Structures are given as C-alpha cells and as structure tokens.
C-alpha cells in the first residue's frame, strides 16, 4: 500500500507524511562484520587456477538480514501511520502516546541525539579539544565517519529601504557633530559620510547589531575597535574619536548608536 495515495481513508486525513527525523538503522557490530565479509569476497581471487572459496552463512548473518528486514518493515509501517495520523494536529500526539508510544519515543530520542551531536560539535569548535573523547569525536566528524545537524542562527535580512534610512540618519549625525565642533573639525564629516555607500553604512549597522551590548555598556574601546575593522569607515572612526573627547555629546551620540542597532531588528 502506498500511504501517500491511500484511497480508503477519509478525505480529511493528511495525505502527506511528516517525515520527522528518525533512524531505522545505524552502526552495529553485525553490520561491520557483514561489510568486512563483503570486502573479503570482493578481493578474493577469481578465475581459473584460483581456489574455490565459499562465504560462510551462519546464524549471525541470518539474524542480521532479519534485523534489516524488520527495520524496513517498521519504516513502511510508520509511513502508513503517518498517512492518517498527523502528530502536529490537536489530539493526535495523545492518540499516538496511547496506542503507539514507540513512534513518539523513537523520534524524541532522535531529536535528543541530533541536538547532543550539534551542541557537542559546536562546544568543541568554540572552546577547543580538552579531553581524549573530544579529540576522538572530532576525528570521527572530520573523517565523515559520523555526521549530524549543526546549530546556526538565521541570516539577518535587510529591507531595501533600510540602507536609505541608515544613510539619512548617518548624514544627520555628521551634521550635528560638525556643528558642535565648529571650526576645529579635522575634515568635512558631512561630505565624508555622504561619500559612503548605503551598503557600507548598513554593514556598520549589522556589525553594531552583532555586538549590540557595546551600546548597553557604552564601551568606547570596543566601538573604536569595531569601526577600525573596515577601512571605508575611517570618517566615522574620526567622528567617534572627536565625540569621545567631548562628554556633553555622549548622550546624544549613544542614542544614535542604539538607533543604528535597532534599525536592523526592525
């Protein structure tokens, strides 16, 4: 029976499958022994003059074959269940817990396994290898002996009009700074900011958004270091240096910084 095309089920039953992550097979001693046996059969001499060799078939091989057949049948049965029971619908999970709890348990165990793999891999990448278990785990991952999901944030998306908004606010900030400094300005800050592209200025906002705690701490050193990472932001770095030396300008300046952070969230 094809669960995707079941004709005897009510029309309101789900026609697709949930395909929640679950494994029906995995590494085992029996599987490894079977793989080794197949490798030996492939490299054994063939043709005239070679000794006739017979591959032994015992209880271990028969039991392994039965296990694989059972897993294939279980996968088919789960697909059949998913053809008319959608765990995401109200009451369906409760029904499965009552009549087929193994379905729920296997998928919960797989979710825990996936997140444990992803978390351990990321912790090692962040803090380095500290134990032999860490070393062996990374060996298995790097050699593609084991694999699994990874943890990652969704990419930050920027609306088309954000660049225009950012540039106008950067222009306003440059006008304010230039008016406050008067005749002591080192360069024409307004012209310098206007010469920057919307992409360059929006990139700075994304960098600020990534390090958003800088504004909460009002960390001048961290802000200077961040602005120093892009050569195109040199005029803004100069503005930062000038404002830092003038305490009365601090409050309004940090409001601008917070604005540039918030515009990415919006």
**Domain limits of the chain?**
1-85, 100-152, 162-265
Per the CB < 8 A criterion, the answer to whether 211 and 222 are in contact is yes
pLDDT tens profile 98-128: 999 999 998 898 888 888 999 999 899 888 9
Per the CB < 8 A criterion, the answer to whether 189 and 178 are in contact is yes
Write down the pLDDT at residue 240. Answer: 84
Query: Could you tell me where the DSSP H helices lie in the chain?
Result: 29-43, 59-82, 92-99, 101-127, 132-142, 162-181, 189-194, 198-210, 213-217, 220-227, 234-244, 250-265
Contacts of 158 (CB under 8 A, 6+ apart): 202, 206, 264
d(CA 169, CA 241): 19
- Angle at which helix 250-265 crosses helix 234-244, to 10 degrees, equals 140
Write down the pLDDT at residue 17. Answer: 52
Among 183, 180, 199, 191, CA closest to 235: 191
Residue 49 has pLDDT above 70, yes or no: no
Task: Out of 44-48, 79-83, 137-141, 204-208, pick the least confident.
Answer: 44-48
pTM of the model: 0.45
d(CA 77, CA 71): 10
């Amino acid at each position: 029976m094809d669960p995707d095309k079941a004709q005897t089920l009510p029309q309101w039953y789900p026609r697709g499958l949930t395909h929640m992550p679950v494994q029906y097979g995995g590494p085992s001693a029996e599987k490894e022994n079977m793989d080794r046996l197949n490798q030996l059969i492939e490299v054994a001499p063939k043709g005239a003059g070679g000794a006739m060799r017979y591959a032994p078939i015992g209880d271990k091989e028969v039991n392994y074959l039965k296990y694989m057949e059972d897993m294939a049948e279980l996968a088919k049965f789960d697909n059949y269940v998913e053809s008319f029971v959608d765990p995401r619908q109200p009451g369906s999970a409760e029904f499965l817990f009552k009549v087929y709890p193994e379905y729920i348990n296997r998928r919960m165990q797989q979710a825990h396994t996936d997140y444990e793999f992803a978390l351990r891999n990321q912790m090692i990448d962040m803090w380095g290898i500290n134990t032999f278990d860490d070393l062996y785990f990374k060996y298995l991952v790097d050699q593609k002996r084991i694999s699994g999901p990874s943890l990652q944030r969704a990419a930050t998306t920027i609306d088309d009009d954000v660049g225009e908004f950012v540039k106008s606010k950067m222009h306003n900030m440059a006008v304010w700074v230039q008016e406050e400094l008067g005749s002591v300005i080192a360069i024409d800050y307004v012209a310098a900011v206007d010469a920057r592209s919307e992409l360059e200025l929006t990139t700075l906002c994304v960098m600020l958004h990534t390090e958003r705690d800088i504004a909460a701490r009002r960390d001048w050193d961290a802000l200077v270091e961040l602005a120093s990472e892009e050569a195109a932001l040199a005029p803004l770095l100069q503005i930062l240096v000038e404002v830092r030396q003038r305490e009365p300008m601090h409050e309004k300046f940090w409001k601008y910084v917070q604005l540039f952070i918030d515009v990415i969230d919006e």
